[in-house]
């Protein structure tokens, strides 16, 4: 399977066109799996402040400088 098939391109475009900058909403619009798609990624400097990130798997993710103030973990 190609990395950029039509479904992935459609989901990427939906994220680009989204009228929000809310991480959780964009994650859902993109059709990503919270138990899989953040593992071993570089999320340095991202803000998760005030977000409900329960159930997200950050295993192996680089979280340097991330903000989690008021986040539900």
| Tens-digit pLDDT profile for residues 17-67 | 999 988 899 999 999 999 999 999 999 999 999 999 999 999 999 999 999
pTM of the model: 0.78
**What are phi and psi for residue 6, nearest 5 degrees?**
-60, -40
Closest CA to 31 of 54, 6, 50: 6
Q: Are 49 and 71 in contact (CB under 8 A)?
A: yes
Give 33's contacts (C-beta < 8 A, 6+ positions apart).
Answer: none
Cα–Cα distance between 69 and 51 in angstroms, integer?
A: 9
Alpha helices (H) along 1-73: 6-17, 23-29
């Amino acid at each position: 399977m190609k990395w950029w098939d039509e479904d992935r391109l459609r989901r990427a475009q939906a994220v680009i066109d989204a009228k929000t900058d809310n991480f959780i909403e964009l994650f859902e619009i993109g059709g990503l799996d919270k138990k899989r798609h953040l593992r071993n990624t570089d999320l340095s400097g991202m803000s998760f402040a005030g977000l409900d990130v329960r159930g997200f798997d950050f295993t192996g993710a680089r979280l340097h400088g991330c903000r989690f103030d008021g986040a539900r973990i």
